[in-house]
Amino acid sequence: MAGAGRASTRPARGWQKAQVGHFVGGDWAPAGSGRWYPNRSPWSGEVLGEIAAGDGEDAHRAIEAAHAAFGGWAGEAPWRRQQIFLRAADLLEGRRAEILDALAVETGCGRHFGSVQVDFALKLLRQAATLAYRPAGELLPSDVEGTQAMAVRRPVGVVGAIAPWNASLALGGRAVIGPLALGNTVVLKPSEESPYTGGALWAELLQEAGLPSGALNVVTHAPGEAGGIGDAMLTSPLVKRINFTGSTPTGRRLAEKAGRHLKRVVLQLSGQNPLIVARDAEVGYAVDAAAYGAFIHQGQVCMCARRVYVERPLAEEFAERFAAKVAALPTGDPGDPATVVGPVINEWALALLDRRVNEAVELGARVLAGGVPRPPCYPATVLTDVPDEAEIAHGETFGPVVVLEAVDSAEEAVARANRSDLGLAASIITGDSRRGLRLAAKLDVGIVHVNDQPVNDEPHMPFGGVKDSGWGRFGLGFAAEEFCELQWVTVRDQDRTFPF
Ligand code: ADP
C-alpha cells in the first residue's frame, strides 16, 4: 500500500504499496512490536497492504517527536508555513485521480463523495495558508494607568488527533491542518479502516511539501486496538489538546478519561439528523434533497439525514416519489462512476444495519424501499411507521437507512426531532424561507440548513454539534478557540506606586 514501511522497501508515495509504517519524527518506521495487520478493501475483500499495528509505546514515541518539533514549528515565519500548505494543496491536486482510487478501494467511497473530500481538503489547505497571517491577539484597554495589556494567542503544543474512516481524507485533514496552521504539532491516529487515506497520505503530502520533521506524526493500529494509543494521548502531559471525530459512545469514554486529566477535547460525534419537509415545499426538490442527504456515501456521513418528517398534506406523494427514486439508486462497485450506493465499511456494519432494520420491521415498521442486504452493500432503504422503541428510531445507524414519518405540522417535527439526545445537523425544506429560519431557531442542533439537505461542510464554517453530538467547533475560522491558549500579558511604561 502506501509510501511507508521498512526503510529499504519504502517507496516514495502511493497507495498500491506493500506496507504502511508509522510516520514519526519525519521517518517511516514499523511498529515497535514489529506487528502488522492487513488492510482490506470493503468492496473486494482484497488485502491492500500491511499496516503497522502500533500501541501506546509507539504513540509515546510519536508524542515525544511532536514535542521536540514544537518549538521550531511554532517559531517558523508565517511565509514558510503558508508556503508548505500551498505546496501541499498543489501536490494533492496533482494526485487527485490516484487519491480517488485510494478512497474507493480503502473505504468504499464513490467518485462523487471522493471528489467532495478532495475539494474540501484543497480548500482546507489553501485557507490554512492564510491562518499564518491572522492577528495573534488583541491590545486591551486597561484602567491601570501606564499599563498596556494584550491578549496573545499562543499555540498549545502537541495536539492529539483521532479521526474516523468515513470521510477519511477530509476528516483526517480537518483533525491536523488547523492545529498545525496555528503552530501546534500533531500526532494523528487514523481509523484502522483508513490508515492510508486518513493518515499516511497526509504525512506523504505534508512531508513532500516541506513540513519539518516531527510536526506531523501518524500512528496506526490493528482493529480493536485504538485504546492504547488513545490512552497515551490522554495520559501524556505533553499532549495539550485532543480532537476526536467518531461515535458518541467512544467520544463519551474518551471525555470521561480526559476529565480525569483535565485535558480539553474537541468532540464531533454522532448525529440523528432530521430533514423536515414543509407543506409548501416543492415535492420534486424535496425528494431529490432527501435522497442525496440520506444516501450520499451510503449514509455513512455523520450529517446524513436519518429521519425525514413530511407535513401531512404532502406525505403520501412524497413517500411514493421518494421510495421510487431510492429503489432505483445504482448500487455496487464504488469504482464505477455511476454507482451511488457502494459497500458499507465492513461486515459488522452490514450486520448491524440488517439487525436494526429487521428489529424495526418486527415492531411494525414498513419497508418502502430496500431492506434486504446485498453484501458487501446494503441497499438504500426507506422505513416508515417505525415505533419509537425501535433502535433505529433513536440511535444513530451509520448506513443507508432513513426513517420517514408524516407529521401534522413542521412544529411537531421540530418537537419530535428535539427529543433526540443527539443534536448535530438538520435541514428544513419550505417555500417560505422566513418560516424556515424561525423553525431553525427552535431546533436543538449545531447546524441547520434551510432549503437544503443536511450534508454540507466548508473548511471555515463552525462545524459541530450540541447535546450528545459533542462540543467544540472545527472550522478554520474557529480553530484558534480550540487549539490556542490565550495569554494575558501586560507591560508598564512607568513604575507603579504600591500602597505598602
Ligand atoms: P466509527 O463507528 O466511526 O468507527 P468510532 O468512535 O468507533 O466510530 O471510531 C472513531 C475513531 O475512534 C477511530 O479512529 C477509532 O479507531 C477510534 N477509537 C475507537 N476506540 C477508541 C479508544 N478507546 N480510544 C481512542 N480512540 C478510539
Q: Encode pLDDT of 393-436 as tens digits.
A: 989 999 999 999 999 999 999 999 999 999 999 999 999 999 99
C-beta 380 within 6 A of ligand 1: no
In terms of domains, do 284 and 180 share one? no
Distance 216 CA to ligand 1 centre (A): 20
- The answer to the question of residue 461 being in a domain is no
Work out the average pLDDT over 142-160.
97
Query: Has residue 479 got a pLDDT over 90?
Result: no
- The verdict on residue 491 lying in a domain is no
Establish whether residue 227 lines the binding site of ligand 1, counting it when its CB lies within 6 angstroms of any ligand atom: yes
**Alpha carbon of 303 to ligand 1 centroid (Å):** 17
335 has pLDDT over 80? yes
Average pLDDT over residues 233-245: 98
Cβ of 250 closer than 6 Å to ligand 1, yes or no, is yes
Does some domain include residue 464? Answer: no
247 Cβ closer than 6 Å to some ligand 1 atom:
yes
What pLDDT is stored for residue 11 in this prediction? Answer: 40
CATH number of the CATH domain containing 167: 3.40.605.10
Same domain for 265 and 277?
no
pLDDT value at 90 more than 60: yes
Q: Is 192 in the pocket of ligand 1 (CB under 6 A)?
A: yes
Mean pLDDT of 325-353: 97
Over residues 289-306, mean pLDDT = 98
Ligand 1 proximity of 248 Cβ (cutoff 6 Å): no
pLDDT of residue 444: 98
Residue 4 above 50 pLDDT?
Answer: no
* Dist CA 349 CA 399 (whole Å): 8
Residue 259 belongs to some domain of the structure: yes
Residue to substitute in 58, 191, 397 for testing ligand 1 pocket (most ligand atoms within 8 angstroms of CB) = 191
Question: Which tens digits make up the pLDDT trace of 203-213?
Answer: 999 999 999 99
Residue 456 belongs to a domain: no
- Cβ–ligand 1 distance for 50 under 6 Å, the answer no
Q: From the CA of 177, how far away is ligand 1's center (Å)?
A: 20
pLDDT of residue 211: 98
Give me the pLDDT at residue 6, please: 38
Residue whose Cα lies nearest atom 25 of ligand 1: it is 230
The average pLDDT across 319-340 equals: 97
Instruction: Say how many Å lie between the CA of residue 341 and the centre of ligand 1.
Output: 24
pLDDT of residue 221: 98
Q: How far is the CA of 453 from the centre of ligand 1 (A)?
A: 27
pLDDT given for residue 14 in this prediction: 62
Residues 321 and 437 in one domain: yes
Q: Are residues 441 and 302 in the same domain?
A: yes
Q: How far is the CA of 244 from the centre of ligand 1 (A)?
A: 8
Count of CB atoms within 10 A of residue 241's CB?
Answer: 25
Domain span at residue 350 reads: 273-450
Of ligand 1's listed atoms, the one at least distance from the Cα of 249 is: 6
CB of residue 194 inside a 6 A radius of ligand 1: no
Residues 182-196 have pLDDT tens digits of 999 999 999 999 999
CATH of the domain at 317: 3.40.309.10
Examine the domain organization and report whether 220 and 99 are in the same domain. yes
135: confidence class by pLDDT, cuts 50, 70, 90: confident
Residue 346 and residue 243 share a domain: no
Best probe residue, ligand 1, of 196, 250, 344 (max atoms within 8 Å of C-beta): 250
Verify whether ligand 1 is closer than 6 Å to residue 164 (CB atom). yes
How would residue 477 be classed by pLDDT, with cut points 50, 70 and 90?
confident
Using the predicted structure, report yes or no on whether residue 385 has a pLDDT greater than 70: yes
What is the pLDDT averaged over residues 50-57?
Answer: 97
Question: What's the rounded mean pLDDT across residues 238-262?
Answer: 98
User: Is 13 within a domain?
Assistant: yes
492 within a domain of the structure (yes/no): no
Q: 106 and 187 share a domain?
A: yes
Same domain, 371 and 480: no
Residues 55, 122, single domain; the answer is: yes
Same domain as 425, residue 441: yes
Distance from residue 248's CA to the centre of ligand 1 (Å): 10
Instruction: Give domain status of residue 496, yes or no.
Output: no
Residue 230 Cβ < 6 Å to ligand 1: yes
Tell me, what's the pLDDT at 500?
96
Q: Locate cell 415498521: which residue?
A: 365
Atom 20 of ligand 1 has which residue's CA nearest to it? Answer: 226
Protein residue with least CA distance to atom 4, ligand 1: 164
CB distance 268 to ligand 1 below 6 Å: no
State pTM to two decimals: 0.96
Q: Both 265 and 125 in a single domain? A: yes
- Whether 168 is in the pocket of ligand 1, judged by its Cβ within 6 Å, is no
The count of structural domains within the chain is 2
pLDDT over 70 percentage in the chain? 97
CA–CA dist 150, 134 (Å, integer): 16
Determine the distance separating the centroid of ligand 1 and the alpha carbon of 285, expressed in angstroms.
36
Cβ-Cβ contacts under 8 Å for 207 (sequence gap 6 or more): 23, 26, 216
> What integer pLDDT is reported at residue 10 of this predicted model?
37
Cross-strand pairs, 274: 307
Same domain, 238 and 338: no
| Residue 160 CA to ligand 1 centre (angstroms) | 13
